[in-house]
Amino acid sequence: MLRLTDTQTKTVREVTASTPGLLTVYACGPTVYRYAHVGNLRTFLLTDLIRRTAERRGLRVKLVQNITDVGHLQDDTAIDSTGEDKLLAQARLEDKSPFAIARFYEDAFHRDLAALNVRPADAYPRASEWIPSMITLIERLVASGNAYVGDDGTVYFAAQSYDAYGQLSGNRLEDLRAGHGATGESAATGKRFHADWALWKLAGAHREMTWDSPWGAGFPGWHVECSAMSLDLLGDTIDLHTGGIDLRFPHHEDERAQSNCAVGHEVVGHWVHGEHLLFEGRKMAKSTGNVVLVEDVTARGHDPLALRLAFLSSRYRQQANLSWESIAAADALITRWRTAVAAWAESPSEAIAPAYRDEVLAAFEDDLDTPKALQVLRRLEKDDEVAPGAKFETFAWADTLLGLDLARTVGQPVVAAALPGGAQSLLDERAAARTGKDFAASDRLRDELAALGVSVKDTKAGQEWSLA
Ligand code: AMP
Ligand code: ZN
């Protein structure tokens, strides 16, 4: 069964479905004020890999991913996010309504996911369409004594009201003041305690994206969105919660406190965080100025799935360093594998190679050891003991996890076209020479093919070619 690193216990634990046969997963989604960069996509891919792996053991996966289109303020690393709403700031910049901005980038997000073969979630709730439920949740937290209306009219969560606060990120309330830039904030904002955070903010000068509430017109805090949407759509026991490592604190720490206090028990069974993507050595971020988009990759002539393969080359819990060279190398490997898979598909059918299949699945189930799974497949590719038909079956099976469309060119004339001109007739001649045991001719034809960039190998099942 699938084992994943759990952020809260810092151990690799088996993922368990609290309802037999059904795994519930909540994935923190994008804030739709700009195109997702490929770093964001690496994080979204993590959930897809988890889902595909769980499905191999017959689990049905119910996946919800939120769309944040309100409430995410510019400085989200502070204890309580501050600054302007990211959507409103972008709307001002593009001179459009915030909703137009949100829908535009939400559509782009779905296109990016499709380009990377990330299968769609069961639901994509939008924060702006979930306000009544957030208000109900906040009311519940006020009634239970976990939240209060501050002197400034903002509704705050009282961090000290939740004893287990900090367990997810390892932050202790008493240490937060110094480390997270909140010095003096309690006095300035109307909070009772420096680590409290806003659940509902008053509209103030805001005119757009505000809603009526028992505390006056305003808008929700970012963290409360995820509590309300996950509890509503997945219930009060959620097997798995995913996101990028930067969301561990404060976003997920605060979400955990809200959800657990609202229902009176631990909601999320397993927290899984993906490490950051670096580009040419530095964390990919708009602020770093090294953002790469899917369309930058395709504009250079690469298959977007080369990105997916490049991501699979490192394990999700480790930082990955992407470069144009690594994307190009991944693109070349995908082409090589597709060509090989199409060629193997022409051979007589054979049963899957069970040892290789089991090794690939074991690697995925071992905390998504995708680099290992790729190594196993490279080994299979070269294994002369395995018949081409069995290689085809095994690669096609593995691709249900990899998601690289490796059978894309099977049965298409593209296969022949992938061979340089004249190579097919040389291959046919060589096959005939070998049948006639004319090894001198066979060697000469091998050299001629090599000169065309086609390398030929003889296996028990006949000759196999690949592009050098
Ligand atoms: P955002 O749209 O900014 O809310 O981010 C969407 C997701 O991408 C979150 O889960 C972030 O943690 C994640 N993320 C942001 N930057 C990176 C990065 N450089 N590498 C991997 N994930 C990232
Ligand atoms: Zn979230």
Query: pLDDT tens digits for 387-423?
Result: 999 999 999 999 999 999 999 999 876 555 577 778 8
Domains contained in the chain, CATH given:
3-274 (3.40.50.620), 277-402 (no CATH), 423-467 (no CATH)
Q: Which amino acid residue places its CA nearest to atom 12 of ligand 1?
A: 244
Q: 250 CA distance to ligand 1 centroid (A)?
A: 14
Mean pLDDT over 234-244 rounds to 98
Q: What is the pLDDT of residue 458?
A: 86
Here the tokens at position 232 are 């509503």
β pairing state of 3-6 and 73-75: unpaired
More confident site: 108 or 436: 108
Mean pLDDT score of the chain = 92
Q: What is the pLDDT of residue 452?
A: 83
Q: Which amino acid residue places its CA nearest to atom 10 of ligand 1?
A: 244
Q: What residues contact 270, with CB distance under 8 A and at least 6 apart?
A: 4, 6, 13, 15, 16, 239, 240, 241
**Which ligand is the nearest neighbour of the Cα of 247?**
1
Q: What is the pLDDT of residue 467?
A: 77
Longest dimension (CA), the chain: 94
More confident site: 87 or 191: 191
What gap in Å lies between CA 214 and CA 251, rounded to an integer?
Answer: 24
More confident site: 92 or 17: 17
- CA contacts within 13 A on the Cβ side of 287: 3
Would you call 117 helix, strand, or coil by DSSP? Answer: coil
Which atom of ligand 1 is nearest the CA belonging to 275?
Answer: 21
Q: 368 CA distance to ligand 1 centroid (A)?
A: 19
Q: 404 CA distance to ligand 1 centroid (A)?
A: 22
- Poorest-confidence range of 61-75, 86-100, 220-234, 408-422? 408-422
Whether the predicted pLDDT of 185 surpasses 60: no
Here the tokens at position 281 are 């050595």
**Which ligand is the nearest neighbour of the Cα of 288?**
1
Q: What is the pLDDT of residue 88?
A: 83
> Would you say the pTM of this structure is higher than 0.85?
yes
Which atom of ligand 1 is nearest the CA belonging to 246?
Answer: 12
Q: 246 CA distance to ligand 1 centroid (A)?
A: 7
Q: Which amino acid residue places its CA nearest to atom 14 of ligand 1?
A: 40
Residues flanking ligand 1, CB < 6 Å = 28, 30-31, 39-40, 42-43, 243-244, 246-247, 276-277, 283-285
Question: Which residue, among 270, 414, 397, has the nearest Cα to 335 in the 3D structure?
Answer: 414
Mutate to test the pocket of ligand 1, among 43, 292, 322 (most ligand atoms within 8 A of CB): 43
183 pLDDT band, cuts 50/70/90, is very low
**Which ligand is the nearest neighbour of the Cα of 273?**
1
Mutate to test the pocket of ligand 1, among 33, 246, 307 (most ligand atoms within 8 A of CB): 246
Q: What is the pLDDT of residue 178?
A: 47
What gap in Å lies between CA 244 and CA 272, rounded to an integer?
Answer: 8
79 pLDDT band, cuts 50/70/90, is low
Per residue in 272-326, pLDDT tens? 999 999 999 999 998 889 999 999 999 999 999 999 999 999 999 999 999 999 9
Mean pLDDT over 167-183 rounds to 71
Q: 442 CA distance to ligand 1 centroid (A)?
A: 55
What's the sign of the alpha-carbon dihedral 12, 176, 268, 105? negative
Here the tokens at position 387 are 């018949």
Which atom of ligand 1 is nearest the CA belonging to 283?
Answer: 19
What is the b/e burial string over 385-422, where b = at least 16 CB atoms within 10 angstroms of the residue's CB? Answer: ebbbbbbbbbbbbbbebbbbebbebbeeeebeebbeee
**Which ligand is the nearest neighbour of the Cα of 28?**
2
Which atom of ligand 1 is nearest the CA belonging to 29?
Answer: 6
- H/E stretch holding 325: helix 324-345
Which atom of ligand 1 is nearest the CA belonging to 285?
Answer: 19
Q: What is the pLDDT of residue 184?
A: 44
Q: Which amino acid residue places its CA nearest to atom 5 of ligand 1?
A: 30
Q: 132 CA distance to ligand 1 centroid (A)?
A: 27
Q: Which amino acid residue places its CA nearest to atom 2 of ligand 1?
A: 30
Q: What is the pLDDT of residue 417?
A: 52
Q: 39 CA distance to ligand 1 centroid (A)?
A: 6
